[in-house]
Amino acid sequence: MDQELLLTLGEAGIALAGFSGIAEALQRRGQDAESRADRARLRDLLIASLGAAMFAFLPSVLTTAGMPIELALRHASAMLALYLLFAGATLLRGGTGRIGLLAWLFVLPAALMIVLLALVALGITHRVAAFAYVLTLFMLLILAAANFGVLLLRESSAAKH
């Protein structure tokens, strides 16, 4: 597995998590439904971006600790699958009381990735292990970027009114 690619994904996750601070500073402080929805989007942005950053570095940490890369990828895939279960449950619960389109756009591919990562963790599909792992990290970063974009669009439209 290309360590530089994983490090780049980790850096992207850290950058998106940092942008959440900007989104928080721009966020309205009210208790209305829009503010609750914005806080839920910010939470989802953090879950996705910090998860991508953490899991981008995990295989390198495990191999540095002396674990063979194949085994490190299997363990990292198992942990990433569990994390996706947590993230999916959090997204579906949401802060708005309803399941939004963005949540469904994450949950459906995430379910497929959880199955694929579980197969990798069990050693059944070792040929696609690196691909599945990196694709899942990309999916987390896309979710974070989408939430960040929605937050910025909402703020810019609120500033015009």
Count of H-run helices and E-run strands, the chain? 5, 0
Average pLDDT over residues 133-151: 85
- Whole-number mean pLDDT of the chain? 79
Q: Note the pTM of the prediction, 2 decimals.
A: 0.77
Domain boundaries of the chain, sorted by first residue: 3-160
pLDDT in tens, 82-135: 999 988 777 776 655 566 666 677 778 889 999 999 999 999 988 888 899 999
% of the chain residues with pLDDT over 70: 75
What whole-number distance in Å separates Cα of residue 101 and Cα of residue 37?
Answer: 13
User: Phi then psi for 52, rounded to 5 degrees?
Assistant: -60, -40
Strand, helix or coil for residue 69: helix
